């Protein structure tokens, strides 16, 4: 489907933002409205850097706003978010091609979609593929760097994870099923996921932004482990 066909009412983004803010109001602050807003802003910036036109940028904004709607980590249902995103867009006047594209992006943006098997986004090409890539890169950028560190420990605290247990080793090369089981320690999440994201970025602009954020995490982990050993 062509991104140029994804045309929606000019007010739909503001309506969507208000809807998402209310929908996520009960989430912990690792996946709250402010996460969505950061991803939206970063995704639009990446879309401009990657040369997407105004219509595609508008689609990027909607997909970024809706990307964590009924997230499986909170709802327990992998299909709920993509279906809800599509339904909301259709209900609010978006054409079917835009709604279907956003549904595909929402279904594909998560880390687990790359841990074996195919992704709905595999069928995308051209501008539609770039729309997916900038939204995914923006979401991953918010998972690394200073903000990513804060979000990791916020999510861990909200879900009862231990900060660090040296007896529990990271699981390297996770399958999708292993990833969905969760992790008993927040620190291991860096090694199992967050430190892998830099090399999973799809766009040149996303990769450039990821470098400094990745290094910030490396420095944090170096300091953290040294403090645990009483070295600093």
156, with CB counted inside 10 A (0-12, 13-18, 19+), is buried
* Mean pLDDT for the stretch of residues 113-127: 90
- Predicted TM-score (pTM) of the model is 0.92
Strand blocks (E) in the chain: none
pLDDT at 180 > cutoff 80:
no
pLDDT band at 11 (very low <50, low <70, confident <90, very high): confident
Question: What DSSP line would sit under 125-146, residue for residue?
Answer: -HHHHHHHHHHHHHHHHTTSHH
pLDDT at 117 > cutoff 80:
no
Tell me what pLDDT residue 5 has: 38
* Mean pLDDT for the stretch of residues 13-27: 96
Tell me what pLDDT residue 6 has: 43
Tell me what pLDDT residue 168 has: 95
Tell me what pLDDT residue 9 has: 53
Domains along the chain? 3-228 (1.10.3210.50)
Separation CA 163–CA 130 (nearest Å):
36
């Amino acid at each position: 489907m062509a991104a140029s066909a994804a045309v929606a009412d000019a007010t739909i983004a503001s309506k969507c933002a208000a809807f998402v803010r209310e929908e996520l109001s009960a989430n912990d602050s690792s996946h709250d409205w402010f996460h969505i807003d950061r991803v939206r802003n970063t995704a639009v910036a990446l879309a401009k850097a990657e040369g997407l036109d105004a219509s595609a940028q508008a689609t990027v904004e909607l997909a970024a706003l809706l990307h964590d709607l009924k997230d499986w980590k909170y709802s327990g249902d992998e299909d709920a978010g993509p279906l809800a995103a599509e339904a909301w867009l259709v209900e609010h006047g978006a054409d079917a091609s835009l709604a279907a594209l956003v549904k595909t992006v929402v279904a594909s943006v998560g880390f687990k979609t790359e841990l074996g098997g195919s992704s709905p986004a595999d069928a995308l090409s051209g501008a539609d593929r770039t729309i997916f890539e900038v939204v995914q890169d923006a979401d991953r950028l918010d998972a690394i760097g200073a903000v990513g560190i804060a979000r990791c420990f916020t999510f861990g605290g909200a879900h009862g994870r231990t900060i660090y247990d040296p007896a529990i080793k990271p699981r390297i090369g996770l399958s999708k099923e292993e990833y969905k089981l969760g992790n008993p320690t927040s620190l291991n999440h860096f090694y199992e996921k967050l430190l892998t994201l830099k090399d999973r970025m799809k766009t040149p602009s996303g990769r450039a932004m990821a470098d400094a954020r990745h290094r910030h995490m490396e420095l944090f982990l170096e300091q953290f482990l040294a403090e645990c050993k009483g070295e600093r």
